[in-house]
Structure 1
C-alpha cells in the first residue's frame, strides 16, 4: 500500500512541477527515487545507477539518431527558406482561414508516411511558425496543432499507420496494421473533427481578443546576436521546397516495405549486435536512411554557402540535445516505476477491471499504464505483454474479433499518455518555445480528451456491431 502511495505521489508531483516548467532533467530522477523510498524494497543508489540511468542510456542509444537528424532536417528546411515556401504555397491553396488545418494535415501526412513523431515535430515547426505568423495566429497554439496531426489519429487509429503504437498489438492478436479499418477510420474522424473544432474555436477567441502571433523568437538555439536568422527574401521554387519532404515520406515507405525486409540480417542475432532481429530495427533504419537522403537533397538544392551550411548544421545538432535528454529521463522514470512492487499491484488491479468485457478492461489497463509510464508505447507494451494472451482468449470466448481488440488497444494507448509529464509533450513544447502554462491546455484537449472520446465511441460501436 505504501508503495502505491509513493507511485501516485511521485506521478502527481512530476506532472505538477513539469506543468510549472521545472526541468525534467532534475524532476524525473528525483520523483522516481521518491517512489523508490516509499517502496522500501530497492536500494536507492543502485536503482538510480542501474535502472534509471541505464534506461536513459537505452533510450538515447535507440533514438538519438532520430532526434539529431530530425532537428538538423528541420533547421535546414527553415534556413533554406523551404519551410517558408511550403507555408506560402499552403496559404495560397487553402487560404489563411485554414492555416490550422494546413498544419494538422502536414503533420498527419508525415506521420502516416512513417516518419517518427519526434522527427515530425522538428520538421514541421518551422513550417507551422511561418504559417501562423502569416495568419497572425498565437504562437501558443502551434503545439496543439502539431499534436493533433502527430500524436492522435495517425499514431493509433488510421488503418495501416506504420507508427509503433499500431504495430505492437499485431504479435499479440495475430492481426496486421489494417485491423478493423472501418472503426479505425471512424475513430480518426472523431479525433480530427473534435480537435479541429476546438482549435478553430481557440483561434476565433484569440481574434476576438486581438491576440496575434506575438514576438518572433528562436525556439531552441539563438544566433550570437540574439536574433533569429532571417530567411532569404528569394524563396526556393515549389518543387525544390517540397522535394525533401517527399523524399522522407516516399523513401521511408520504400525502404521499410520493400528494400530493408529483403536484407539478410542474421548477424543481428549475435551478442555483438544485441541479440535482436531485423523487424525490431526496421523502422529506425528506414527513418535514418530516408532522413540522411533528405538532408543530402536539401543541401544540394538549397545551400551554396559553406559557412551558412556549417551554422545550420551546428544549430540543428545543438537543438536536439535537450529534447532527447528530457524524453530519455521520462523513459527512465517510467522504467523505474515499473520495477517497484506497487506497480505490479496497480497493474493487476487495472487489468482486472470489467473482466466480462475484454474491450473495456483492455482500454482501461492500457490507458492507465500509459499514464503511469508517460509513454503510449510503454503502457501498451506492458499491458499486452502481461495480459495480451488473456485478452485474446477472452475475446475469442466472447465472440470478439481480434482485429477489434487490436484497434481498441492501439487507440487506448494514445489518451492519458499525453499528460503533462509525457516526454513527447515536453519535447513538443520545448521545440515550439511555449511553456506548459501557455500551451498545455490546448495540447491536452486534442491529445487526451479527443482520443479518449474516440476510443469510447469505438468500444461502443464494436460492442454493438462487432469489428468492421
Structure 2
C-alpha cells in the first residue's frame, strides 16, 4: 500500500515541480528518491544502477540515442544559421498570405520537422516571424502557439512514415522494423490530426474575432523580433529546401530500391549499403542528417565561413534535450522496478481489451507519467513491448500505433516541450494551455483511437 502511494506521490510531485519550473534533473532525482524510499528500494541501487544504467537508465538511453540527437541538432543549427529555415517560412508566408496565418504556422512547422529539423529549433525559428503575422492579422498569441504545435508536435513527430524523429527511431530500433513501418495507418492518423487540429484553431480564431480578442504584444515579442534580420539575406526558397530533400531522400531512396528486387544475395557495395540502411534505424538517419548539414555548407557561402562554429553550437544544443529526455527515462527506470508498476503491467496485459487498445492505454499512461512522448515510448518498448509481440501483434502495426499513442497524454501541463514553447512565446499555462491541450492531447488521442478502430474493422494488427 505504501509503495503504491509512493508511486502516486512521486508522479504527482514530478508534475508539480515541472510546472513550477524546477530543473528536470533535480525534479527527476527527487521524485525517484520518493519512489525508492516508499518502495523499500536500496538508495545505492536506485541511484547507481536503476536510474543511470539499468535497462531503462538515463545514460543507457543517452548512450544509445546520442548520435541521433547530435546529428539532428547540428542539422537544425545549420538550417537556422544559413537562414534556410527562415527562407522556407517566408516563402510559404508570401504564398498563403496573412489571412491564412494559422495555416502558415502549421505548414511551415510540419515541413521543417518532417524534414529533420528538431522541434525546439523550429519553434524558436518560427516565433520571431510569427510576431509580424500575428500583429498584422490581430491573431491571439495562444492560437499561434496551438497552430505551430499542430505542425511541430503531433503528426510529423509520431505518425508520418520515413521521418528521422526520435519516436520513429525508438520504435524501429526496439522492434526491428524500419522508419516506414505502418505507413498507411500513419498517414491516416496524420490527416486526422492535421485536419481536426486546424479546424479547431480556425474556429477558435473566428470566436476570438467575434469577442474582440486579438494580438497583445509584450517585451518578449520585441526581443524575439530583433532576431528576424534582413529577409534579403536568406537564400531562395528552392535552394533552402535542398538540404531537407537530401535528408528525406537518403532515408527513402534505399527503401524504394530495396523494394524493387531481392538484394540479400548480392555482394556488391551498393547492396551492402542498401542492406545497411535497412538494418540501422539509428545510424542511417544520423548519416542522412549529416549529409543534409554538409549540403547546407556546400550550398550557402555565408554558412561556409562559420561552419565549424555552427556545427559546434549544434552539438552543444543537442545536450540539454538529450539529457532532459534521459532524466525522465531514468525516473521511469526506477518506477519500473517497483511492485506497483509490475502490478500495472500485469493488469494491462491481462485486462479484457483488444490488444491494440491495450497498447494505446499502456503507452498513454506511461507517457503521461513522465510528461514525455519519447520517454514514455522508450519505457513502453523496453518493459511492455515484447509482451505484445508475444501476443501476436504485428510489429509494424505496433510500431506505428505505439508511436502515435505516445504523442497524446505526453502533452499534459508538465511536458517539457509545452513549458519551453510558452517560455519562448512569453505566455502562461493559464493563457494558452487549453488550446494546446485540444490540439496536442485530445486530437492525437482521437486520431489514435480512430486508427485502431479502422485496423480492427479490417481485421489487422494481429499476425494471422
Shorter-chain TM-score: what band?
0.7 to 0.9
1:316-335 matches, within 5 Å, as 319-335=317-333
Report the RMSD for the aligned CA atoms in angstroms: 4.1
Determine which of 399, 406, 415 is the counterpart of 1:413. 406
Conservation of the 8 A alpha-carbon contact between 1:252 and 1:286: no
1:449 and 2:437 are equivalent in the alignment: no
1:416-435 matches, within 5 Å, as 416-426=409-419, 428-429=421-422
Aligned match of 1:292: 293
The CA deviation at 1:249 is 3.4
Q: Deviations over 1:136-192 (max 9, x none)?
A: 345555553343223322333335555454566679989776566554443222211
The CA deviation at 1:65 is 5.1
**CA 1:242–1:17 in 2, change beyond 3 Å: closer, same or farther?**
same
Aligned match of 2:280: 279
**CA 1:252–1:144 in 2, change beyond 3 Å: closer, same or farther?**
farther
1:18-417 matches, within 5 Å, as 18-40=18-40, 42-54=41-53, 55-64=57-66, 66-67=68-69, 70-71=72-73, 73-78=75-80, 80-113=82-115, 115=116, 119-123=118-122, 125-136=124-135, 137-159=139-161, 163=165, 165-166=167-168, 183-204=185-206, 208-212=212-216, 214-215=218-219, 216=221, 228-229=226-227, 231-232=229-230, 234-236=232-234, 237-254=236-253, 262-263=272-273, 279-297=280-298, 300-303=300-303, 319-355=317-353, 357-383=354-380, 388=385, 391-392=388-389, 394=391, 407-417=400-410
Conservation of the 8 A alpha-carbon contact between 1:88 and 1:131: no
Conservation of the 8 A alpha-carbon contact between 1:51 and 1:336: yes
Aligned match of 2:8: 8
Q: Which runs of 5+ in 2 are unaligned?
A: 258-268
Q: Secondary structure at the match of 2:407?
A: coil
Conservation of the 8 A alpha-carbon contact between 2:10 and 2:35: yes
Q: Deviations over 1:26-80 (max 9, x none)?
A: 212111211111111x222442243334433344444455555555554554455
Q: Distance in 1 between matches of 2:305 and 2:384?
A: 57
Q: Deviations over 1:193-236 (max 9, x none)?
A: 221122224444555312245442567xxxxxxx9556135333
The CA deviation at 1:452 is 0.9
**CA 1:323–1:163 in 2, change beyond 3 Å: closer, same or farther?**
closer
Conservation of the 8 A alpha-carbon contact between 1:395 and 1:405: no
Q: Secondary structure at the match of 2:232?
A: coil
Q: Deviations over 1:404-442 (max 9, x none)?
A: 555443432322223233444455555666555554433
Q: Secondary structure at the match of 1:234?
A: helix
Q: Deviations over 1:306-342 (max 9, x none)?
A: 6xx7886776666555444333322222222222232
Q: Distance in 2 between matches of 1:25 and 1:78?
A: 28
Conservation of the 8 A alpha-carbon contact between 2:67 and 2:286: no
Conservation of the 8 A alpha-carbon contact between 1:256 and 1:286: no
Structure 1, 16-25 or 385-394: larger mean CA deviation: 385-394
Aligned match of 2:17: 17
Q: Distance in 1 between matches of 2:76 and 2:123?
A: 7
Q: Distance in 2 between matches of 1:178 and 1:48?
A: 37
Structure 1, 142-151 or 338-347: larger mean CA deviation: 142-151
Conservation of the 8 A alpha-carbon contact between 2:248 and 2:288: no
Conservation of the 8 A alpha-carbon contact between 1:354 and 1:360: no
Q: Distance in 1 between matches of 2:114 and 2:324?
A: 25
Aligned match of 1:224: none
TM norm structure 2: 0.77
Conservation of the 8 A alpha-carbon contact between 2:298 and 2:304: no
Q: Secondary structure at the match of 2:37?
A: helix
The alignment covers a number of residue pairs equal to 439
Conservation of the 8 A alpha-carbon contact between 2:75 and 2:314: yes
